[in-house]
Structure formats: C-alpha cells, structure tokens
C-alpha cells in the first residue's frame, strides 16, 4: 500500500529540516528538490515546508487511486487533462479520513460474489439521509491552500521540463495549470469585525507586572523559568517576531550593545530588528545568572530558549507559557505568541499617530516600514490586515464625533 509521510530531523547545518518519504522510508526526489529550492534555501519556516509536502503527499495518494505516475505525467507525458485536474481538486477538498477511505476501496476492489452484492444493496437501501451523514469536505481556506500548493509544485515541474515540449504543448499545459488554480475555493474576507486583535494597553501592563521574577503572583516555579519567560515576553512585545523565529534564536543572534536581534530562521526572510533596552537587560541577566549554569554539553546547540536541563524549547512549551500567563492575569483576550505580533502592530500604529505631522511617514512609507520589520516582502499587503484595528478605532472615533456633531446641530436648530 502506498504511504507518504513527513520525516523531520536536524540537518548538518544545525537547522530543522523535513522531507517527504515513501512507504520504504526513502525520500522522494522531485518533491524534496522542490522543497529545498523553493522553501529551505530561501529561509522559509519549516512548518510551511512541511505543510506543502503534506499536500504533495495527498496528490500522490490521488495519483495511486487513479493509476497515474504523477511526476512522470507532468515531466514526460501529456501533463494532466482538465478532467483529471478537476478530480484532483475535488480529492484535495476532502478530509483526510475520506481520502484514506477511497484508497482502501481501491485496494479492496475486486469482483463481488452474490452475497456481497446483496449486502451492498442492503447498505444502499438503509443508507442514512444526507443530513445525517458526516461532512467529508475540509474548510474553504484549507482546500484553497492545498490546491494552490499543488499549483506551484506543478508549475515548478513544468519549468524544469519545458525544453522537452513544443511551444504549443507547453502553452496548453500552462493553460490547464491556470485552470487548476481557478478551482481553489474563494475564501471570504470577514472584514475587521471578526479579526483577532492584540492586547490592550492595560493588558500589556498587567502582563509586564505578572512576568516580573520578583512578583509573588508570577506563576512560574523557578528563577530560571521566571527570567527566561520575562525575556521571551519582552522580545515578543518589542519586536513582534513570529514564534518559530523566537524559538530558533541563538545566543549569538542577540547583539547586546547595539540592541539588535538577527533573525536567521524565518517563514519569509532573514532580517535584523531592533529590540528594547529592557530585552537586552533581561537577556544579560538570563545568560549570566541562569543559562550559563546549564552544563555546556546539554546546550551545545546554541539556542537561547531552552528548558532548565538545556533541551531546546518546543512550540507547545511556548504556547503553554502564554496560556499560563493569560490564566494568571485573568485576561479574557486569548494570548498566544501571535497575539504579541498583532500587539506590536497596534503599538506601531499608536506610535505613528502620536508623531508630529511633519514626522509622520506617508501611507506607502508606513507600509514599507511594517513589511521590513515584520519580515514581509516589499509588495506584501499583510500590513493592511494587521493595521485593521487602528483603522477601525479611528473610524469609530470619527463616526462618534460626526454623530455628536449632528446631534448638537439638531439641538441648536430646535432651540431657534
């Protein structure tokens, strides 16, 4: 039975790496070349690479069900027909459980004896109504991601093999591929009413007090944990970096004297960002008083954030720290590492609004500043998404002023 799975490990350069392997635990050539070329060498986050390889593994499952050699069809044969692309898009929109059921049906398909035929008929007659059946489709957002991931993989394969085709054939294959992209569901923009927001100023102050190592209400048991978590919170608050970026920070990435942090492992690209003077102070205290006491052999990996025994801190452990802080501070806002990223953007908007008019950056420059500090590309539109809270609050404020102005004018007219 065909099986595709993801294997994760630490590569020779000391960075995490994932590969797609087959049922014999052998890495697959084309998918992993694609992952290396388009993700790892560009410094993309390992979870992004894993998710894309996961989608390619799904496509391999579909190809097996339909007796197709996926890479051979794209590289050497006649690409995939419109009908095959439609069927693949439908398959990608199914939940994994349903995909596995289709695979099992393929394996078990064989001529039925009369008794088995009668059983099948009985199952059809007493089949539950549609409303009682389980929903077999995944979300529109997940379906769109899977289809687009395969679109980019196929495009990569086509570019590698275009010299093998005539121009007419290549153009036809490209047209089919463009059609496949249109099969991705459209994801509705919910607007700014439902968007998750960062912490309020009062919530930020409450957490700053809670994480102080000397605070008796600090929920963490040891001095090591208290100083480490205070440093972690301050770095998130002052830089807005991603969880994965913080997790893979090494000690040498923090420039204590210049207040800079070099982010090497990123979902998008490497960058150097400024951090607060508090972050540098907490860094110095944590390194000299606590991390230095961990045996060097246990922390040869060089990562800044570890357990008390020197093991590299996991994503789950980082998430748990923030859940603990939320519970201890009795804050209703869901606090995650990404909440801190949104908080940083809210704080940047507040800072820009407070600047004198002659010092305020224009809209395009503000966008470039956010893109640069957040690690987004220069043409990314993510800045508008993360500044929605500021825009909404300004709109609400102006709306209230307008409403009060109208009410005041109406009162004056009535008095006359």
Q: Are residues 170 and 206 in the same domain?
A: no
Q: Are residues 361 and 224 in the same domain?
A: yes
Residue ranges making up the domain that contains 258? 201-391
Contacts 24+ apart (CB under 8 A), 5-13: 5/57, 6/50, 6/53, 6/54, 6/57, 8/46, 8/50
Highest mean pLDDT among 105-114, 318-327, 383-392: 318-327
304-327 b/e with 16+ CB inside 10 Å = b? bbbbbebebbeeeebeebbeebbe
Please state, in angstroms and rounded to a whole number, the distance separating the CA atoms of residues 73 and 78: 6
Numbers of helices and strands, H then E, in the chain: 17, 5
Whichever domain contains 276, its CATH number is 1.10.443.10
Q: Are residues 341 and 285 in the same domain?
A: yes
Please state, in angstroms and rounded to a whole number, the distance separating the CA atoms of residues 78 and 356: 62
Q: Are residues 176 and 207 in the same domain?
A: no
Residue 348 belongs to some domain of the structure? yes
Residue 127 belongs to some domain of the structure? no
Q: Are residues 40 and 177 in the same domain?
A: yes
The secondary structure of residue 199, as a DSSP letter, is -
Residue 34 belongs to some domain of the structure? yes
User: 42 with 129: CB under 8 angstroms?
Assistant: no
Contacts of 308 (CB under 8 A, 6+ apart): 222, 224, 225, 294
Q: Are residues 56 and 95 in the same domain?
A: yes
Least confident of 55-59, 283-287, 362-366: 362-366
Tokens of 356: 């004198």
Q: Has residue 261 got a pLDDT over 60?
A: yes
Residue 114 belongs to some domain of the structure? no
393-403 per-position pLDDT tens digit: 666 666 666 67
Q: Are residues 166 and 261 in the same domain?
A: no
Q: Are residues 153 and 210 in the same domain?
A: no
Please state, in angstroms and rounded to a whole number, the distance separating the CA atoms of residues 205 and 202: 5
Please state, in angstroms and rounded to a whole number, the distance separating the CA atoms of residues 14 and 296: 16
Q: Are residues 178 and 284 in the same domain?
A: no
78-123 per-position pLDDT tens digit: 788 899 999 999 999 998 888 888 877 766 665 555 655 555 445 5
Residue 413 belongs to some domain of the structure? no
User: How many structural domains is the chain composed of?
Assistant: 2
Residue 9 belongs to some domain of the structure? yes
pLDDT of amino acid 125: 47
Three-class SS state of 248 = coil
Residue 121 belongs to some domain of the structure? no
pLDDT band at 279 (very low <50, low <70, confident <90, very high): very high
Q: Are residues 363 and 247 in the same domain?
A: yes
pLDDT of amino acid 132: 42
Q: Has residue 321 got a pLDDT over 90?
A: yes
Residue that wins the pLDDT comparison between 117 and 411: 411
Rounded average pLDDT over 406-412 = 64
Q: Which of 124, 151, 182 is the last residue of a domain?
A: 182
Please state, in angstroms and rounded to a whole number, the distance separating the CA atoms of residues 300 and 273: 25
pLDDT of amino acid 127: 47
pLDDT of amino acid 195: 53
Residue 13 belongs to some domain of the structure? yes
Q: Are residues 164 and 218 in the same domain?
A: no
Q: Are residues 163 and 279 in the same domain?
A: no
């Amino acid at each position: 039975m065909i099986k595709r799975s993801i294997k994760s490990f630490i590569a020779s350069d000391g960075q995490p790496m994932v590969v797609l392997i087959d049922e014999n635990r052998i890495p697959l050539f084309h998918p992993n070349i694609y992952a290396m070329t388009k993700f790892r060498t560009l410094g993309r986050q390992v979870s992004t690479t894993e998710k894309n390889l996961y989608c390619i593994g799904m496509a391999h499952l579909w190809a097996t069900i339909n007796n197709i050699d996926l890479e051979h069809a794209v590289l050497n044969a006649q690409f995939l027909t419109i009908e095959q692309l439609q069927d693949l898009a439908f398959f990608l929109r199914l939940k994994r459980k349903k995909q596995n059921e289709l695979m099992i049906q393929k394996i078990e398909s064989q001529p039925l004896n009369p008794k088995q035929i009668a059983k099948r008929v009985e199952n059809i007659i007493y089949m539950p109504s549609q409303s009682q059946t389980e929903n077999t489709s995944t979300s529109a957002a997940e379906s769109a991601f899977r289809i687009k991931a395969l679109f980019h993989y196929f495009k990569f394969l086509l570019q590698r093999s275009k010299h093998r085709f005539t121009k007419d054939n290549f153009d036809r294959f490209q047209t089919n591929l463009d059609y496949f992209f249109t099969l991705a569901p459209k994801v509705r923009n919910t607007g700014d009413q439902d968007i998750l927001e960062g912490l309020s100023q009062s919530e930020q102050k409450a957490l700053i007090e809670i994480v102080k190592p000397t605070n008796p209400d600090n929920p963490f048991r040891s001095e090591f944990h208290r100083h480490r978590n205070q440093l972690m919170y301050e770095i998130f608050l002052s830089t807005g970096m991603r969880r994965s970026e913080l997790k893979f920070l090494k000690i040498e990435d923090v420039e204590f004297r210049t207040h800079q942090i070099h982010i090497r492992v990123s979902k998008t690209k490497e960058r150097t960002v400024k951090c607060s003077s508090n972050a540098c102070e907490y860094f110095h205290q944590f390194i000299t008083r606590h991390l230095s006491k961990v045996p060097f052999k246990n922390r040869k990996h060089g990562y800044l954030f570890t357990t008390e025994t020197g093991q590299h801190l996991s994503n789950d452990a980082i998430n748990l720290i923030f859940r603990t802080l939320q519970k201890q501070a009795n804050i209703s806002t869901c606090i995650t590492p990404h909440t801190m990223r949104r908080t940083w953007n809210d704080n940047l908007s507040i800072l820009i609004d407070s600047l004198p008019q002659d010092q305020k950056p224009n809209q395009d420059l503000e966008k470039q500043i956010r893109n640069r500090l957040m690690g987004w590309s220069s043409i990314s539109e993510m800045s508008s998404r993360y500044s929605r809270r500021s825009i909404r609050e300004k709109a609400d404020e102006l709306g209230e002023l307008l409403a009060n102005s109208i009410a005041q004018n109406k009162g004056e007219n009535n008095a006359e």
